[in-house]
Amino acid sequence: MSDRAIFMSSPLPNFQEAEIVLPGGRPVPAALEPRLRTYYLEKDGVRLRVMLATAVTDNPRGSIIFSPGRTEFIEKYFETTADLIQKGFNVLMVDPRGQGLSDRLLEDRLKSYIGNFQIYADDLAFVVEEFAPLLPRPHIAMGHSMGGTIVLQSILSGVLNPDVVICSAPMLGLFDLETPFLRAVISGLARLGLDKHNLPFQRQRSGLPIPFQGNKLTSDKDRYRYWASFFQSTPRLRVGQPTYGWIRAALASMAYVNRNAANLKIPGLMLGAGADPIVDPASVENFAKTAGCDYVVIPGALHELFLERDVYRDECFAKIDAFLEREKI
């Protein structure tokens, strides 16, 4: 069956097709273009942008349900999506509400805000249900950073029922933001009505990336510059620094996920970035131990394992491949 026939003959509802944006008129990667579609779905009055990419085989190994991190968007993961469909998986991805080309939640489009991470979790579960006809089992829930917290909360709250879970640098403990004093200050300011005000003293402003030198995400200059070019060329993709409300919701979600780690009843792989300056790798290891998951650290890697140099990125994929092989997926 041709790639186009896969989509045209599917029992999907008549979703509105969504646009794809690429800087400088660059094309979608050749391996991905015929197998990729993007759609808009509406939930609770909020329009969510969704990507579905189909495996390069008539008999997919399963489906990967991917949740990206804060400020991230579907196009950022085209290279990773191309890798995953080559490995035989269908891939579903959602721009979380408030970022990418999903609807923004505040009048100021740059503000990063959410009232509760369960909203993200419910959105993810809703999209999976809508696309169920094109998501053959087994289901692999996968998330990076904030997306890792979202998929874990989705599973632990019972709204998502995958077969395994894989998280890259999941946001389970943030450097410098988890002392009792800071938690109390942030929660107090949010309750005082500042929940939609930006957190001060952040290097990143107006949704524009900082220069490569000194960034906390990756040591790969080319991948960083390509990622940055999206924000530079497409203002609609930009997301500013987090608000007090977003931080409060993130801290609550991390506490919920860590508190319920022992209730994770499916196999899992937690990947830590050894030189991560954002998420504490020790928090990922502690969660994995309590949840009974595998824990692997990629020494030397910064926060963005899928955006890192090949030496780190390849090791990350090798660990994922080994885990899936052991789980007979």
Euclidean distance between CA atoms 18 and 185, whole angstroms: 40
Q: What is the pLDDT of residue 6?
A: 52
Q: What is the pLDDT of residue 31?
A: 87
From first to last of its 329 residues, the chain has per-residue pLDDT tens of 444 445 544 556 678 999 999 987 788 988 899 999 999 999 999 999 999 999 999 999 999 999 999 999 999 999 999 999 999 999 999 999 999 999 999 999 999 999 999 999 999 999 999 999 999 999 999 999 999 999 999 999 999 999 999 999 999 999 866 556 566 666 666 566 667 766 655 555 578 999 999 899 999 999 999 999 999 999 999 998 888 899 889 999 999 999 999 999 999 999 999 999 999 999 999 999 999 999 999 999 999 999 999 999 999 999 999 999 999 99
Is the model's pTM score more than 0.85? yes
* Domain total in the chain: 1
Q: Reduced to 3 DSSP states, what percent helix, strand and coil does the chain have, rounded to the nearest 5?
A: 40, 20, 40
CATH code (residue 237): 3.40.50.1820
Owning domain of residue 220: 3-326
Q: What is the pLDDT of residue 2?
A: 47
Q: What angle do CA 247, 253, 259 make, to 5 degrees?
A: 135
Q: How far is CA 247 from CA 105, 107, 145, 196, 204, in A?
A: 16, 19, 14, 10, 16
Helix 244-259 crosses helix 180-189 at what angle (to 10 degrees)?
130
Cis peptide before 299 (omega within 30 of 0): no
Other residues' Cβ atoms within 10 Å of the Cβ of residue 328: 6
Instruction: Of 202, 211, 234, give the one whose Cα is nearest residue 111.
Output: 202
- Assigned token pair, 136: 């053959």
